[in-house]
Structure 1
Amino acid sequence: MSELFDEVDEEVRREQLKKLWDRYSIYFIALMVLIVAAVGGWRAYQYLEAKKAAEAGALFEKAVELSEQDKHAEAEKAFTELAAKAPSGYRTLARLRAAAEAVSRDPKAAAKIYDDIAADGSVSAEWRDLARIRAAGLLLDSASYADMQQRLEASAAAGSTFRHSAREMLALSAWRNGDTTAARKWLDAIAEDGETPPGLRSRAEALQALLPPVAKS
C-alpha cells in the first residue's frame, strides 16, 4: 500500500512541476538568455579595453621615441593626441609628458598644462600633486613668493609625497623675494624632517648660511 501512495505522491509532484514549468518557463529562459548575454558582453568589454590599452601603449612608446630623438614638437603633439583618446591609465601620463615636451617650446605654456592637470578632479591626488610641483618649478624664477605659497603650501605639509621638493622651492622663492622669515621657516622644516634626502639637506644648509643672522632680542 505504501508503494501505491509513493507512486501517487510522485505523480502529484510531477504534475505540480509541470504546471510550474508551463507557467514560469518563459521567465526562466529569459533569465538564462540575459545571463549569457551579460557574460558575453563583459567578455567583449574586457577584450575591447585590453585592445585599447595595447594600442595606447604602442602609441605612447612611439611618442617616447620621438622625445628621445629630440623631436619635442612632434612628441608633444603625439602625447596631446594620446591624452585626448587614451584609456584613463595612459591619459594622465600622456598629459604629463605633453607638458614636459612643451617646456622647451614655452615654459609658461607647459606650466599651464601642469596647472590644468592639478585642477582636474578626475586625476588621482598624487598625480595632481606632482603636476603642481612641476608647474611651480617652471615658475620659480618669475613668480612671487605669495604665488608659490598658494601653489605649494599644501604639498609641503607633513606626510605629503612631494613635501621635500615643495619645501625647497618655497625656501628658495622666499629667499629670492627677500622674505628671510619665510625662508627660515621652510629651511627649518627641511632640517627637522628625518626623511629629508641628504642632497636636499645639504642644499638647505648652504642656503641657510646665506641668510643674515637672526637679530638678537
Structure 2
Amino acid sequence: MSELFSEIDEDLRREKLKKLWEQYSVFIVAGAILIIAAVGGWRGYQYWQAKQAAEAGSAFEAAITLSEQGKHAEAEAAFAKIAAGSSRGYAGLARLRAAAEVAVRDPQEAAKLYDSITANPAMSTSEQDLARLRAGSLLMETAPYDAMRQRLEPATGPDRTYRHSARELLALSAWRNNDAVAARQWLDMIANDGQTPAGMRSRAEALQALLPPAAKS
C-alpha cells in the first residue's frame, strides 16, 4: 500500500513540475541566457583589459628604450600618445615620463607639465607629489622660496610618500634665498622624523652647520 501512495505522490510531483515548466519555461530559459551572456561579457571585458594593459606595457617599454637611446623628441611623442589613450596606471606614468623628456630641452615648460599633473584629479596623490618634486627640482635655481613652499608644502605631510625629499628641497630653497628661519624649520622636521633616510639626515646636519648662529638658537 505504501508503494502505491509513493507512486501517486511521484505522479503528482511530476504533474506539478510539468505545469510549472509550462508556465515559467520562457522565463527560466531567458534567465539562463542572460546569465550566460553576462558571464561571457565579463570574461570578454577582462580579456580586453588584459590586452589593453599588455599593449600599453609594450608601448611604454618602447618609449623608455627611445629615451635611453637619446631620442628624446621621439620618446616624448611616444609617452604623450600613451598618456592620451592608455589605462590609468600607464597613462599617469607616461605623463610623468613625457614631462621628463621635455625637461631635457625646456625645464620651464616641463615644470608647467608637472604642474598640470599635480592639478589633475585623475592622478594619485603619490603621482601628484612626485610631479611637485620634479617641478621643484627644475625650478630650484630660479624660484623664490615662497613659490617653492607653495608648490611643495602639500607633499611634506607625515603621511605623504615623498615627504622627506619635499622637506629637503624646501630647506635648500630657504637656505639659497637667505631665509635661515625657514631653513631651520625644515631641517628640524627632517631631524625629528624617525623615518628620515640616513643619507638625507647627514645632508641636513651639514646644511644646518652652515646656518648663522642666531638661527641655531
Structure 1 match to 2:158:
158
Q: Are 2:126 and 2:160, in contact at CA under 8 Å, matched by a contact in 1?
A: no
Q: Counterpart of 2:7 in 1: which secondary structure?
A: helix
State the partner residue of 2:144.
Answer: 144
Residue in 1 aligned with 2:33?
33
**In structure 1, C-alpha distance between the alignment counterparts of 2:206 and 2:4, rounded to whole Å:** 104
2:50 is the counterpart of 1:15: no
The amino acid of 1:205's aligned partner reads: E
Letter in 2 for 1:150: Q
Bigger helix share: 2
CA distance in 2 between partners of 1:47 and 1:3 (Å): 56
Q: Which residue of 2 aligns with 1:204?
A: 204
TM-score relative to the length of structure 1: 0.93
Cα distance change, pair 135–46 in 1 and its aligned pair in 2 (3 A): same
Identity within the alignment, %: 63
Residue 52 of structure 1: aligned partner: 52
Q: Which residue of 2 aligns with 1:81?
A: 81
**CA apart distance, 1:215:** 7.0
Q: Is 2:102 aligned against 1:108? A: no
Aligned length: 217
CA distance in 2, matches of 1:193, 1:172: 18
User: Which is worse superposed, 121-130 or 69-78?
Assistant: 121-130
SS state at 2:156 partner: coil
Question: Deviation at 1:4?
Answer: 2.6
Letter of the 1:197 counterpart: P
Offset of residue 26 of structure 1: 0.5
After superposition, give the CA deviation of every residue in 1:172-201 in whole Å (9 maximum; x if it has no partner): 111222211111111111122222222222
Tell me the TM-score normalised to structure 2 length. 0.93
1:125–1:216 Cα change, 3 Å: closer
Aligned to 2:91, what secondary structure does the other structure show? Answer: helix
User: CA–CA distance in 2 between the matches of 1:45 and 1:122?
Assistant: 22
SS at structure 2 position matched to 1:29: helix
Gap regions ≥5 residues in structure 1: none
**1:128: how far off?**
1.5
Q: Is the 8 A contact 2:144 2:177 kept in 1?
A: yes
The answer for unaligned runs of 5 or more in structure 2 is none
Letter matched to residue 146 of structure 1: D
Q: Within 5 Å, give how 1:91-106 maps onto structure 2.
A: 91-106=91-106
Q: Distance in 1 between matches of 2:132 and 2:216?
A: 38
